[in-house]
Amino acid sequence: MSFGMTVFDANGVQTLGMEDFTIEKLAQMNLPAARKMGNGIRSDYIVMDVPGYNPATCFVVITPRVYAGYSQPGYPDMWGYVPTYKDLGGTQIGIFTYVNRRRPTGYHNNYVDEWTEHTVECVVEVVRVL
């Protein structure tokens, strides 16, 4: 499936059009919401293998499927986050749904390693610019 767009300036003159470029959706993955945590450090990720993916000509868009019905406070609350991704080389992308952190134990200057996964339901799309 291919997409396109047209952009006009304030005077109605076309400045960008479908003849300038087109984007093509190469892949889509739906990720469910998750809320988990655990001890230790994680290094795993969800592998998304996308034939035709090249970071020089493609981009990844991660879009929540639902949004909070209130202004976000700027600090962690009950609402989740969208995952992040990393180019793994070749046609593979790694989707990270968690963060590793060090939490103070409250005893002297000790910390404990833990991970937290707090993501909203979202869609991961890989798009190529033609």
Over 70: is that where the pLDDT of 15 sits? yes
pLDDT recorded at residue 81:
86
The pLDDT tens digits for 71-102 are 767 666 777 888 999 999 999 999 999 999 99
Please tell me the distance from the alpha carbon of residue 99 to that of residue 119, in angstroms, as a whole number: 10
The pLDDT tens digits for 104-118 are 998 998 999 999 999
Cα 84–chain centre separation: 4
* DSSP codes joined into one string, 63-106: EESS--SS---SS--SS-B--EEEEEETTEEEEE--EEEEEE-S
The pLDDT tens digits for 19-77 are 777 789 999 999 999 999 999 999 999 999 999 999 999 999 999 988 777 776 766 67
Q: Count helices and strands (H / E) in the chain.
A: 0, 12
